[in-house]
Amino acid sequence: MPAESAPMNLTHHFLIAMPGLEDASFARSVVYLCEHSERGALGLIINKPMDISLEGLFEKVDLSLGRKDLTREPVFQGGPVQTERGFVLHDSMRAAAASDDEEADDSAYASTMAIPGGLEMTTSKDVLEALSHGAGPRRVLVTLGYSSWGEGQLESELAENSWLTVGADPAVIFETPVGERYDRALGLLGLQAWMLSPEAGRA
C-alpha cells in the first residue's frame, strides 16, 4: 500500500492572493499563516493598513505608546473575523529571554501562540502595556481581526489556484514598506505581478 502523504502544513508561510481572487477582504493580499493543521488555518493580512495609527489605537484603549519608533505605524486589517479584537504579531520574546538549556515554554505574555519560525502572535493586552512602557518586542505588526479557514477549506482554495504559497520572510512583514509587500512576497517565488494572469486556473 502506498504511504499516506503527510498533511499539508503551511504554518509560517505567506499566502499571496492570485489576481483572480476578487473577495474584497483578500484581493491583492498577503496573509501570514500563524497556524495550519488538518483542522484549519489562521492567519493575519500584513499589507492592508487601516486609517488608524498605533498611536491612535493606544489612545482608544487608554494607553500611551512609549515607543517613538512605532507611533506612525498603521494598524492593519488582519481579516474579516473578530474585527474588534487586536492581534499582535511580533518577534519571539522567548528566544530573546531563554538560554539554550532553559525550557522556553512560557511566553512573556498571557495569551500567546508560538509560531515555528521565531515569531509569536499575542492577543492579550499585556503586550500593549509593555509597549506603552517603552518595552515589548522589537518588531510588531498589530491587526484588528484575523483570517480563518475551516477544515479542508484552504486546501480547496489552493486547488482552485486562489493563492500562491511561499515560506515566510519576517523582513517582508516588519521591514518592507506596506505598498511593496505584495511584490516582495511574490519575489520570494521569483515572480512579478505582471506574470500572473487573472485567468489563472480557468483553463
Query: What is the DSSP-derived secondary structure letter of residue 73?
Result: P
DSSP H helices in the chain: 54-60, 93-97, 126-132, 153-159, 170-174, 181-187
Q: How far apart are CA 198 and CA 123, in angstroms?
A: 36
Per-residue confidence (pLDDT) for residue 127, from 0 to 100: 94
Per-residue confidence (pLDDT) for residue 108, from 0 to 100: 78
Nearest 5°: phi and psi at 156?
Answer: -65, -45
Tell me the domains of the chain and their CATH numbers.
13-88+136-195 (3.40.1740.10)
Residue in 122, 43, 34 with CA at minimum distance from that of residue 77: 43
Per-residue confidence (pLDDT) for residue 199, from 0 to 100: 57
- Extended beta strands in the chain, E state: 13-17, 30-37, 40-45, 49-53, 74-77, 81-91, 112-115, 119-122, 140-149, 163-167
73 in Cβ contact with 143 (< 8 Å): no
| Cα separations in angstroms, 192 against 16, 44, 168 | 12, 22, 17
For 134-158, the pLDDT digits (tens) are: 999 999 999 999 999 999 999 999 9
How many CA atoms does the CB half-sphere of 168 hold within 13 Å? Answer: 25
Query: What is the DSSP-derived secondary structure letter of residue 153?
Result: H
Q: How many residues does the chain have?
A: 203
Per-residue confidence (pLDDT) for residue 117, from 0 to 100: 87
Per-residue confidence (pLDDT) for residue 101, from 0 to 100: 39
Could you say which residues of the chain have pLDDT below 70? 1-6, 94-107, 198-203
Rounded to two decimals, the pTM is 0.89
Per-residue confidence (pLDDT) for residue 100, from 0 to 100: 40
Q: How far apart are CA 14 and CA 32, in angstroms?
A: 5
Query: What is the DSSP-derived secondary structure letter of residue 196?
Result: S
Q: How far apart are CA 47 and CA 66, in angstroms?
A: 24
